[in-house]
Structure 1
Amino acid sequence: MSHAALLLLSDGRFPSGGHAHSGGAEAAVAAARLRDTATLEWFCRGRLHTSGLVAAALAAAAACGCDPLLLDAAADARTPSPALRRTSRKLGRQLLRAVRVTWPGPLWDELAAACPGGAHQPVVLGLAARAAGLTPLDAARSAAYDSVCGPVNAVVRLLGLDPFRANGVVAALADDIDEVADRAARHAERAAAEGTDTLPAASAPLLDITAEQHATWSVRLFAS
């Protein structure tokens, strides 16, 4: 396992397109549910244990060698919001552009041909982790970490929060990130043995609702 590859894949400077997305934080700020570092921590904790767990399990399952097309269908079934499905596939396309150059191989052309609209981002992330020689647990860690860092980085811009205090939220959630990644990796092992139907389907209905609302805004700072 390459620790450097894990750092590269999880680095916010990796050109995966995530900087243009807030993970639902922009809508939460507009609704005054996200106002400061305390509410940011609660928002990120909730996101991590719901949609973050689902993304981490999908990524780990892809790194386990599960069929990516079955995983892509599983991601669709676990993403009820059309706006969030579009966002996930858009991020998947952007991530695919980056990983096919970073870790080249025939898999990426095959995936692009099979999913012309773009595969879901967690599936591409897990395949990238596997191509980089990482473990399913590494893939889960990267996805869980990403589910928290996106909103944190967005809120620094949206609210003008102190970036030191905002990133302290990520540190405060470190144990939760590890716990979610461990759970996701166990789910992935079961999916590899019993099928993708066993993957978690934790829901965050408010994120789904606000994503649909956010998609209709004529003026917004973030794409999602």
Structure 2
Amino acid sequence: MPGPRSGLAVLALADSRFPGGGHVHSGGVEEAAARGLVTGIADLREFLYGRLHGAGALQAVFAAAAAHAAARGVRQEHWLRLDAELDARTPSPAQREASRAQGRGTIRAGRAAWPSPELRELVAATPRPHHPIVLGVLAATAGSGPREAALTAGYLAVSGPSSAGVRLLGLDPFAVNAVVAELANDLDGIADAAASAAGLDPADLPAPGAPALDLLAESHDRHHREEVRLFAS
């Protein structure tokens, strides 16, 4: 069972104040809002549900797998394979770049809070690993298991975009927070499934997809190069 120290680490990793750079990413909400696809609470609810079961489920799986691997003390080859498999499951180059950018920021913060041989091995294997993999390593370093790592990744997949909805559309923050709270049972189920798959070979890990998010990410990346956008992705 995770102890108090690991519980604090999970809370810190999921905190919007954690200096990992997540605040500059909207998870597709900015592009969806620009297209008129998300205009209010009802739209945001549907968007977050889809994001949790697509990108969030994928991130949860790889965070859980990384936590499992870190606890076993795997070699650099395993980190390379895990990172490559998440790359293969992320069709959008813009989303891959956003994940690696967040991973880099989380490494910097993680080195200060939870330095470990496992984190050094990961960075030695791949200097810019994906964000969920870094999350999993840090969670394991602090004593948390795969399920806690998956919960953190899944929660971050919707908490950042929900905050972006408030900033972009001026939505009622209390109503937005209620929408996130409604996803609790879905998040629990996703974390359970991710934890049950954590020990699989990287090539056999689940591959939930969200093609609409891939398209939104590519469109946002193109528009971000042409005009000022609030978020990097």
**Is the structural similarity TM-score above 0.5?**
yes
* 1:81 alignment partner AA: S
Structure 1 unaligned blocks of 5 or more = none
Of the three residues 208, 218, 232, the one matched with 1:202 is: 208
Do the aligned partners of 1:50 and 1:204 also contact (CA within 8 Å) in 2?
A: yes
CA–CA separation in structure 2 for the residues paired with 1:115 and 1:71 = 10
CA–CA separation in structure 2 for the residues paired with 1:157 and 1:142 = 22
CA–CA separation in structure 2 for the residues paired with 1:126 and 1:112 = 13
Pair 1:152-2:156 in alignment: no
Do the aligned partners of 1:22 and 1:150 also contact (CA within 8 Å) in 2?
A: yes
Structure 2 unaligned blocks of 5 or more = none
Identity level (%): 53
Pair 1:57-2:68 in alignment: no
RMSD: 1.1
CA–CA separation in structure 2 for the residues paired with 1:196 and 1:168 = 35
Do the aligned partners of 2:119 and 2:138 also contact (CA within 8 Å) in 1?
A: no
Of the three residues 9, 17, 28, the one matched with 2:13 is: 9
CA–CA separation in structure 2 for the residues paired with 1:99 and 1:87 = 18
Of the three residues 85, 88, 94, the one matched with 1:83 is: 94
- Cross-structure match for 1:98: 109
Do the aligned partners of 1:48 and 1:144 also contact (CA within 8 Å) in 2?
A: yes
Pair 1:219-2:232 in alignment: no
Do the aligned partners of 1:60 and 1:126 also contact (CA within 8 Å) in 2?
A: yes
Structure 1 segment 156-167 matched on structure 2, within 5 A: 156-167=166-177
TM-score between both structures, scaled by the size of structure 1: 0.94
Give deviations 1:151-182, integer Å, cap 9, x for gaps.
10001000000111111111111111111111
Structure 1 segment 10-25 matched on structure 2, within 5 A: 10-25=14-29
Give deviations 1:133-152, integer Å, cap 9, x for gaps.
10100000000101110110
- Cross-structure match for 1:69: 80
- Report the CA distance between 1:20 and its aligned residue: 0.5
Of the three residues 109, 126, 130, the one matched with 1:115 is: 126
Give deviations 1:91-146, integer Å, cap 9, x for gaps.
10000000011001233333333223x10000001001111110100000000101
- Cross-structure match for 2:178: 168
Do the aligned partners of 2:79 and 2:126 also contact (CA within 8 Å) in 1?
A: no
- Report the CA distance between 1:24 and its aligned residue: 0.5
* 2:67 alignment partner AA: A
* 2:82 alignment partner AA: L
* 1:223 alignment partner AA: A
Do the aligned partners of 1:48 and 1:147 also contact (CA within 8 Å) in 2?
A: yes
Count of residue pairs the alignment pairs up? 219
- Cross-structure match for 2:38: 34
